[in-house]
Structure 1
Amino acid sequence: MFFQHSPQLWAQHPTLVAGVLYAEGVAGNPGADLPLAELVGMARRRLDGTTEAAFPEIQAWRRTFARMGLAPTRYRCAAESLLRRLRTSGDLPRVHPLVDLGNAVSAAYAVPVGIFDVDRCGGGIEVRQARGDERYLTFGGVEEHPEPGEVIFTDSAGRAHARRWTNRQSGWSAVRDDTRTVLVVVEAMHQAADRNVPAMLDALAAGLRHGWGVSAHTSVLAPSEPRFEA
């Protein structure tokens, strides 16, 4: 299993800080309570008296989306969508324990977190600009084709596992009840990203260790070391 960003993306987005976590043996429900309330509490405290749009983490992704030609208030990064949901409804949706952990960490740090079922990723993922012939599967089971030049997560079979970079994941590799091995991707653009991304990887690894009793492999990528392999 590998994960990497294309050289073009590193060149076009020099403030990118990307973290990757790989873990095996995460099938089934956790054997201990996950720190969801603590993490969501962190997000609630940050939102007290303000909105997610004021966070530097969210502003950095809005600028990135604008540079890609996407309207930032129409296409939001996943972290902004979660924080908006938390602010307006008071809580985060419960989906699956692994996804719930990723969402809670994402909300606490206001940084997008993607969780992928490794067995459904075709051996590896590259984040790159789309040709336009790749296939994206919605959670409703509908196939789409990304726009040429759109940033996607793609495998060697031409399946797009995320569209518009950190906007929307795909049904191809979504976490399911039988998911055993996961690849978790954390991507940030703001000034403190070099501190926040490692902290997020630590929080995710601690949650997996506490809940499932597994050890995770983590790495922070850079243009000089852009590829993660497990």
Structure 2
Amino acid sequence: MHPLVDLGNAVSAAYAIPVGILDVARCGGGIEVRHAQGDERYLTLGGVEEQPDPAEVIFADPLGRAHARRWTNRQSGWSAVREDTSTVLVVVEAMHDSAARDAPRLLDTLAEELDRGWGASTRTTLLTPAAPGFRVDVAAGSDVG
């Protein structure tokens, strides 16, 4: 397991907030959180291909692949963090009463640890109904297949 996954799991446990970590270059040109149609492809971490249930919440790319199912509870082998991963999307899902305070604190902690452990630059964005998206530009030549 990649040490970044260990960090994500530790921060998730410390704040009791689900955390998902996706390799941006392997996300097929973007991610949209939406309900599954049921024809998307999902690759388990064990290498078995499945299809999400219709109406299940997934993180889908334009190629019809689901990079996470049941929100971030089941992350996909398509975009799992690997040794050659250079850009990640960290998803924090919090809808409890104090989520507006807790999620930014978790993101700050994670950013501090990424800087301390890897010297990584980070950018955080809190999505809301008024601001439901953001863009990440991946360097040309990256693996999007």
Aligned to 1:195: 101
Identity level (%): 72
Distance 2:21 2:79 in 1: 8
Aligned to 1:221: 127
Equivalent position SS for 2:11:
helix
Report the structure number with the largest CA radius of gyration: 1
Aligned to 1:49: none
1:177 to 64, 83, 103: 83
Aligned to 2:117: 211
Which structure features the higher share of helix residues? 1
Comparing both chains, which one has the higher relative contact order based on Cα–Cα distances under 8 Å and sequence gaps of 6 or more? 1
How far did 1:200 drift?
0.6
Distance 2:71 2:118 in 1: 29
User: Does residue 120 of the first structure (1) align with residue 54 of the second (2)?
Assistant: no
Aligned to 1:102: 8
Task: Please tell me the root mean square deviation across aligned C-alpha atoms, in Å.
Answer: 0.8
How far did 1:97 drift?
1.1
2:58 to 152, 156, 179: 152
Distance 2:29 2:106 in 1: 25
Distance 2:63 2:112 in 1: 33
- When normalised by structure 2's length, the TM-score is 0.91
Structure 2: gaps of 5 or more residues: 137-145
User: Once superposed, which parts of structure 1, at least 4 consecutive aligned residues long, lie more than 4 Å away?
Assistant: none
- When normalised by structure 1's length, the TM-score is 0.58
